[in-house]
Amino acid sequence: METLTFKRGVHPPHGKYLTEKKPIEDLQPKDLLVFPMSQHIGAPAECLVKKGDRVLVGQKIGQASGFISANIHSSVSGTVKDVKPVLTAGGTKSLAVIVENDGQYEEIEFTKPKNYNEMSKEEIAEIIKEAGVVGMGGACFPTNVKLIPPPDKNIDSIVINGAECEPYLTCDHRLMLEETEKIVEGLKIILHMHPQAKGYIGIEDNKPDAIQAMEKAVKDIPNISVKALKTKYPQGAEKQLIYAITNREVPSGKLPADAGCIVQNITTLHEIYQAVVLGRPSMTRVVTITGEAVNDPKNLRVRNGMSFKELVEACGGFKEDPIKVISGGPMMGMAISSLDVPVMKGSSGILCLTSKQAVLPQESSCIRCGRCVQACPMFLIPSALDSVGRRKDYEAFEEGNGLDCIECGSCTFVCPAKRHLIQSIRTSKRTVLANKRKK
């Protein structure tokens, strides 16, 4: 089978053997759940409850406060114990609703929508918005906004990211095997919204069972096809995935819609199905708990708001103290200092690394080898962006197209001098964008 790919990139050890054969297990929460009002790109949700209120499963407790924002729903029934700022896995603080679980799981009365084939795309987008669905691959961009681009954009390709190129993570892989029909139905909903488009499901060739399962599920659907992708990082990044599947390039500073594409993640399709077919908001997700420091790595379906600590305990805890714990995968995830942080919509994994896996060497001076340039999938010069960023020359940083960096970490991975390239570039990007907002 022909495998498609993009230019450049790297080949980190994938580490998926720990959980790729582990079926999804359901895990129920303990006493307290924490629901941050900021689980998405854009404005934080506005809190709708106060201390002492009783909430039900599926009740909206956070209202989207802007065009780019998302609703937040309780995943349990119980009493609001507090509303206060909490630390999240991203290292920032967010106002959060803390709910004491009563163990009853009493639900609101969910209204099952009418057949989506009888709805307009605006009606479908409104249901998805109400359900609080965001991109579940990590970016957490509100899905309803992405599904209705400006009218001048001619969308002819719906590209589905089943690559799961981030090492160690297997939650999307397991969903493709175990919830195949729901994922396909989620894609059919998007294609109903964009009837002139075709659907493409891109899956890396290190998941042959997922390719086979998805091909079987879509064999009688003429406007959906499965594309086998070369196993390479960052194959699942939007612009790289679009190039691999459609051979189109998204111009600098532009969005996938400018290339006629909408890109969605596998888990996002599952949430679209839940919202549009079943009328249920985004309240759960599958999380991969993995790494050599974990006793029994697993894929767990958990309720939003649960503590990372509960998930690790459900995997038998640590067989040795991890030297580093990462929320997400090793390439783009964030190192965390405590397991007392909540599962949010974008929580794809908890990676616990031993001292043998996560050596933390000191960085040295750049040796001008050019390996970061050869690896960069965005055709940037990471060493130069790092240099001007450290000098706080943000004008030169912009001139070097630093804002085009997708923060994949390929440059840091290949650097023999162990330069903290992606950390430096990420900091410069944040500073430049903050300065632009002030103008």
DSSP of 188-240:
HHHHHHSTT-EEEEEEETT-HHHHHHHHHHHTT-TTEEEEEE-S-BTTTSHHH
Q: What is the pLDDT of residues 20-67, one digit of tens each?
A: 999 999 999 999 999 999 999 999 999 999 999 999 999 999 999 989
Binding site residue list: 366, 369, 372, 376, 405, 408, 411, 415
Q: What is the pLDDT of residues 108-161, one digit of tens each?
A: 999 889 999 999 999 999 999 999 999 998 789 999 999 999 999 999 999 999
pLDDT of residue 356: 85
Q: Is it true that the peptide bond before 167 is cis, omega within 30 degrees of 0?
A: no
Interval 158-171 mean pLDDT: 97
Q: At what angle do helices 171-178 and 208-218 cross, to 10 degrees?
A: 40
Interval 287-303 mean pLDDT: 98
Q: For residues 378 and 385, what is the distance between their CA atoms, to the nearest angstrom? A: 13
Show the beta-strand stretches assigned E in 266-382. 284-290, 298-303, 324-327, 334-336, 349-353
pLDDT of residue 235: 96
Tokens of 94: 């967010």
Helix then strand then coil, in percent of the chain rounded to 5, is 30, 20, 50
* Residue 253: pLDDT band with limits 50, 70, 90: confident
Interval 293-315 mean pLDDT: 98
Instruction: Report the DSSP pairing between strands 261-265 and 284-290.
Output: unpaired
**Of 82, 87, 112, 113, nearest in space to 99 by CA:** 82
pLDDT of residue 1: 60
Please list the residue range(s) of the chain that carry CATH number 3.40.50.11540: 122-278
The whole-chain average pLDDT of the chain stands at 96
Helix (H) or strand (E) holding 308: helix 308-314
C-alpha angle 156-160-164 in degrees, rounded to nearest 5: 155
Q: What is the pLDDT of residues 184-235, one digit of tens each?
A: 999 999 999 999 999 999 999 999 999 999 999 999 999 999 999 999 999 9
pLDDT of residue 416: 96
Q: For residues 341 and 424, what is the distance between their CA atoms, to the nearest angstrom? A: 25
User: Is the model's pTM score more than 0.85?
Assistant: yes
Q: Which class for 2: exposed (0-12), middle (13-18), buried (19 or more C-beta within 10 A)?
A: exposed
Tokens of 3: 């495998």
* Proportion of the chain above pLDDT 90, given as a percent: 94
Q: Which CATH superfamily is domain 122-278 in?
A: NADH-ubiquinone oxidoreductase 51kDa subunit (3.40.50.11540)
* Residue 83: pLDDT band with limits 50, 70, 90: very high
pLDDT of residue 53: 98
Q: At what angle do helices 121-130 and 266-278 cross, to 10 degrees?
A: 100
Binding site residue list for [4Fe-4S] cluster: 366, 369, 372, 376, 405, 408, 411, 415
